[in-house]
């Protein structure tokens, strides 16, 4: 069931290979392990995608694809999960990660007024980057671990349930 659910929602390997964000990897995308739907590849993909979703850089999809290639995880899942941080959710998520990083560092969070300009970013980022990066790392690590553990457990429960059904069905036939 888990495999069928993922297959229903994931794009085909051909469609993913054509996507401009992963096309730069060329022949590396022909590795069949990047497209397998098994417990290991999906679990690792969940960890990578959720962890990279909290990395505050603009090339998250590219980084997720590279990580999936390096760790031989399911590429579509890892790339799709980085969209948790999208232009709509990004301000709230990164504000939360900044606050978490400030608390973890033991410094009082600065109150600031956000302006969408390079001047504001250049001036304020010197004060914000350390707690932001620490908060992003902690949040990404926690989200990745929770996501990977959840998928691993759910996948295992599903396999055990199917195994028991087959076993009961064999016993009924005897």
For residue range 82-138, what is the model confidence (pLDDT) as tens digits? 999 988 998 889 889 999 999 999 988 777 666 667 777 777 777 788 998 999 999
Q: What is the mean pLDDT of residues 151-164?
A: 91
User: Residue 67 to residues 18, 45, 141: CA-CA distances in angstroms?
Assistant: 18, 9, 15
What is the pLDDT at residue 27?
65
Burial 154-164 (b: 16+ CB within 10 A, else e): ebeeeeeeeee
DSSP 107: -
pLDDT classification of 5: cutoffs 50, 70, 90? low
pLDDT single digits (tens) 27-78: 677 677 777 788 899 999 999 999 999 998 888 988 998 999 899 999 889 9
Q: What ranges in the chain are assigned the alpha helix state H? A: 2-9, 13-18, 39-53, 60-71, 75-81, 90-105, 118-173
The two tokens of residue 80 are: 């799709």
| pLDDT (mean) for 133-155 | 95
Between CA 59 and CA 62, with CA 94 as vertex, the angle to 5 degrees is: 10
125, 56, 134, 68: which is closest to 101 by C-alpha? Answer: 134
Q: Report the b/e string of 105-114 with b at 16+ CB within 10 A.
A: eeeebeeeee
Residue found by looking up tokens 């960890």 in the block: 47
Question: Roughly what angle, to the nearest 10 degrees, separates helices 39-53 and 118-173?
Answer: 160
């Amino acid at each position: 069931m888990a495999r069928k659910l993922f297959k229903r929602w994931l794009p085909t390997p051909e469609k993913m290979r054509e996507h401009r964000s992963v096309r730069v990897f060329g022949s590396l995308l022909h590795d069949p392990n990047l497209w397998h739907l098994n417990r290991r590849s999906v679990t690792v993909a969940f960890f990578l995608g959720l962890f990279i979703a909290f990395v505050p850089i603009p090339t998250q999809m590219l980084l997720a694809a590279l990580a999936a290639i390096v760790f031989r995880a399911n590429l579509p899942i890892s790339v799709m999960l980085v969209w948790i941080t999208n232009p709509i959710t990004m301000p709230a998520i990164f504000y939360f990660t900044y606050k978490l990083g400030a608390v973890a560092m033991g410094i009082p969070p600065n109150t600031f007024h956000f302006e969408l300009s390079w001047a504001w970013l250049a001036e304020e980022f010197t004060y914000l980057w350390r707690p932001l990066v620490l908060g992003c790392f902690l949040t990404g690590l926690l989200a990745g671990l929770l996501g990977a553990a959840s998928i691993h457990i759910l996948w295992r429960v599903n396999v055990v349930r199917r195994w028991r059904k087959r076993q009961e069905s064999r016993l009924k036939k005897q």
